[in-house]
Amino acid sequence: MKRKKVLKIVITIITVLLIIDIIAGFYFYNLAISRGQKDFLQGNQDLEVSAEAMTAFTEGGWRKWVREQDFEELEMNSFDDLTLKGYLLEAKEPTNKLVIMAHGYLGSGSQMGLYGQYYYEELGYSFFTADARGHGNSEGDYYGFGWHDRLDYVKWIDLLIEKLGEDTEIVLHGLSMGAATVLMTSGEELPDNVKVVIADSPFTSVQDLFSYQITRMFKLPSFPVLDTTSLVSKAKAGYSFTEASTLEQVKKAERPILYIHGNADTFVPTEMTHELYENTKSEAEMVTFDNANHGEAFVIHEEKYIKVLNEFLNKYMD
């Protein structure tokens, strides 16, 4: 009789814990993956940037520049029938050079004007950027963290080559989630038009990123909550956290890759870029920037960033 009572208590405890775990899985899916406002990032110390960077992000002249440009709006249907929006600014003078830029989590394509202005005004490139699925004017009720987005970018690449010409030479340049997106794209079969990939502040995988952040932000162990959240993501968004691996994709990369990361990044640890660099199949270079937090290297070390960028482009672009 006593053993039955103990067994009943154990089963009850396990059942309660399973229910809590399932509830937590749906909670964290809605918190991070489901489309919508993300208040949990407000006041996050890991996302605090220098006053110089904040001024550039929020008040920089690049914003006015973006508003003044006559972007052509392009539309593309994804493999899962979402309508995605992209924006093309053809170069002022004839060129076959094109930069395709990918923005970060909760961002939009227009924010890549911070970098696009340099490519367009100083290098004479055509500039394309898109709203990732679930962002901006693109459809989608979840954030892909680069995984499904990689297939979207393969289609954008094909569309742009068809539009601009078979001799188009392409740079893929992404920031944060966008960096993971272009790196994941690099592991796919790409046309020869894609010449180089530039990844600023990428993560190794969605699993690694969330495991780091759930511990840091919520003081919770990654197991079992993250595993359950991954199952929810697989059911609702079509991808699991483990399969969404930037690391596995760069092991298949054929294009030269330039890795950029701030040494003071606490939102996406710099060590992740070191690991990506060390496992990249193709030719790769890595440059880190002292005292730069997440995604702020271009602003607080603009001269060095541009020097590194130009040296890489001059090395690999025709």
* Same domain, residue pair 143 and 288: yes
* Same domain, residue pair 95 and 140: yes
How distant is the alpha carbon of residue 15 from its chain centre? 37
pLDDT in tens, 290-313: 999 999 999 999 999 999 999 999
pLDDT in tens, 158-204: 999 999 999 999 999 999 999 999 999 999 999 999 999 999 999 99
Question: Which element (helix H / strand E) includes 209?
Answer: helix 206-218
Q: Which domain holds residue 27?
A: 1-31+211-238
Q: How many domains does the chain have?
A: 2
pLDDT in tens, 130-145: 999 999 999 999 999 9
**Residue 111, in any domain of the structure:** yes
Average pLDDT in the chain: 92
**Residue 41, in any domain of the structure:** no
* Same domain, residue pair 8 and 86: no
**Residue 6, in any domain of the structure:** yes
pLDDT in tens, 14-62: 776 677 778 888 898 999 999 988 776 666 665 666 777 778 888 889 9
* Same domain, residue pair 125 and 256: yes
313: which residues sit within 8 A by CB, 6+ positions away? Answer: 123, 171, 196
| Count of CA atoms in the C-beta half-sphere (13 A) of 58 | 7
- Token output for 138: 């693109």
Please check the confidence at residue 148 and state whether its pLDDT lies above 90: yes
Closest CA to 185 of 83, 129, 254: 254
